[in-house]
């Protein structure tokens, strides 16, 4: 006697948001089933993968990563490599060097660099700020204007600076923006309400709900996403139906397990493999919890996670 199938298909669905232009444009979201439950109903847009580049350069001490980017001096050259890698749906630039407490690169330089990347590759581009509230606000305002027509994703507007970023990215210059809340579900919803009240369409925004590496408070990430997805689908909460984009790379590559040297922890083995396994574990857990896109740093992680997604669809 065959087991009765009782698919859990919702009448509500996740919004669809498209980034980039032309044939390589990527559409996020759209599912009307719980994350990865393609067996309940087909998931039209599979979760997307972004490869992360930093304007501060890559970690050349990791042999495989150094090998992958060998000879690619400029960010645009590195973007070309990234874009050519199988499984990469979009390229992410993180503007670490803009941080006023660090290199404090000028807005003009950052804009020029992002522009050159957009001109070099035909994949969609997402841009992450440096984390400094004021600088990011200025950066995103300038980027939104300078990259008109590219339909880039700007990550992310926060409670403190969403107004001008939303006005520039979401209203004036037709870009997409991310609303960032640090694993705080009520703030996530509130920020979406505020941004849509400014007139930004839900289809012009995604959520960055915050993340954590495996072992570093991931329970909060999992439960936040579980609750967001169930509110979006089961309660048809329009203010939580935006797709979720999770920058996994930064968290995964900054915990002790991915940094500590092999000299200090000989039994742990090579650093690079540890970082890759941390990134893979975190990304798989994020996808299982509800990320509609994850941003990764290492080509090996991309190979595995894209195969995982393909295997599940």
Residue 41 interacting with another protein (CB under 8 A): no
Residue 9 interacting with another protein (CB under 8 A): no
What residues are paired with 247 via a beta bridge?
Answer: 295
Residue 312 interacting with another protein (CB under 8 A): yes
Footprint (CB under 8 A) of another protein, residues 81-120: 101
CB of 1 or CB of 23, closer to another protein = 1
Footprint (CB under 8 A) of another protein, residues 224-253: 226-227, 230-231, 235, 237-240
CB of 46 or CB of 173, closer to another protein = 46
Q: Which part of the chain contacts another protein (CB under 8 A), choosing from 42-50, 114-122, 140-148, 269-277?
A: 269-277
Residue 22 interacting with another protein (CB under 8 A): no
Footprint (CB under 8 A) of another protein, residues 283-302: 283-285, 287-289, 300-301
Residue 269 interacting with another protein (CB under 8 A): yes
Among 46, 81, 158, 189, binds another protein (CB under 8 A): 189
Residue 151 CB, shortest distance to another protein, in Å, is 28
Residue 173 CB, shortest distance to another protein, in Å, is 26
Phi/psi at 78 (5° precision)? -65, -40
For the stretch 57-66, contacts whose Cβ atoms lie closer than 8 Å and that sit 24 or more positions apart, written own/partner, are: 59/253, 61/271, 62/271, 62/272, 62/275, 62/298, 63/272, 64/272, 64/298, 64/299, 64/300, 65/272, 65/297, 65/298, 65/299
Footprint (CB under 8 A) of another protein, residues 134-163: none
CA 115 to chain centre: 19
Among 8, 104, 106, 261, binds another protein (CB under 8 A): 8
Q: Which of 60, 44, 56 is nearest to 93 (CA)?
A: 56
Phi/psi at 107 (5° precision)? -55, -45
Query: Contact letters (x/-) for another protein, 49-88, by CB under 8 A?
Result: ----------------------------------------
Distance of alpha carbon 247 from alpha carbon 296, whole angstroms: 7
CB of 142 or CB of 222, closer to another protein = 222
Among 276, 293, 295, 296, binds another protein (CB under 8 A): 276
For the stretch 138-143, contacts whose Cβ atoms lie closer than 8 Å and that sit 24 or more positions apart, written own/partner, are: 138/107, 139/95, 139/98, 139/107, 139/110, 139/111, 140/164, 140/165, 140/168, 140/169, 140/177, 141/165, 141/168, 142/107, 142/110, 142/111, 143/110, 143/111, 143/114, 143/175
């Amino acid at each position: 006697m065959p087991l009765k199938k009782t698919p859990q298909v919702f009448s509500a669905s996740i919004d669809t948001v498209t980034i980039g232009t032309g044939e390589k444009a990527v559409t996020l979201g759209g599912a009307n089933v719980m994350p990865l439950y393609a067996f309940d109903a087909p998931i039209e847009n599979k979760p997307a993968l972004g490869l992360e580049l930093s304007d501060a350069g890559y970690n050349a001490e990791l042999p495989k990563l150094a090998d992958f980017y060998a000879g690619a001096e400029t960010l645009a050259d590195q973007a070309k490599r990234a874009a050519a890698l199988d499984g990469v749906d979009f390229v992410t630039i993180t503007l670490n060097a803009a941080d006023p407490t660090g290199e404090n690169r000028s807005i003009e330089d950052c804009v020029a660099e992002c522009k050159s990347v957009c001109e070099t590759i035909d994949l969609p581009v997402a841009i992450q700020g440096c984390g400094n509230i004021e600088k990011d606000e200025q950066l995103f305002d300038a980027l939104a204007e300078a990259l008109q027509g590219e339909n880039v994703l700007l990550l992310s507007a926060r409670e403190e600076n969403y107004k001008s970023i939303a006005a520039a990215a979401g209203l004036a210059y037709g870009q997409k923006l991310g609303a960032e809340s640090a694993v705080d579900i009520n703030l996530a919803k509130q920020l979406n309400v505020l941004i849509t009240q400014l007139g930004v369409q839900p289809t012009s925004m995604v959520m960055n709900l915050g993340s954590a590496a495996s072992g570093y408070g991931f329970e909060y990430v999992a439960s936040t996403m579980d609750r967001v997805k169930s509110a979006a689908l089961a309660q048809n909460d329009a203010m939580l139906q935006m797709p979720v984009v999770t920058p996994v790379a930064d968290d995964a590559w900054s915990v002790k397990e991915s940094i500590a040297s092999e000299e200090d922890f000989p039994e742990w083995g090579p650093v690079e493999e540890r970082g890759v396994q941390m990134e893979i574990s975190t990304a798989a857990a994020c996808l299982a919890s509800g990320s509609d896109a994850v941003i990764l740093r290492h080509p090996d992680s991309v190979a595995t996670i894209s195969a995982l997604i393909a295997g599940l669809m």
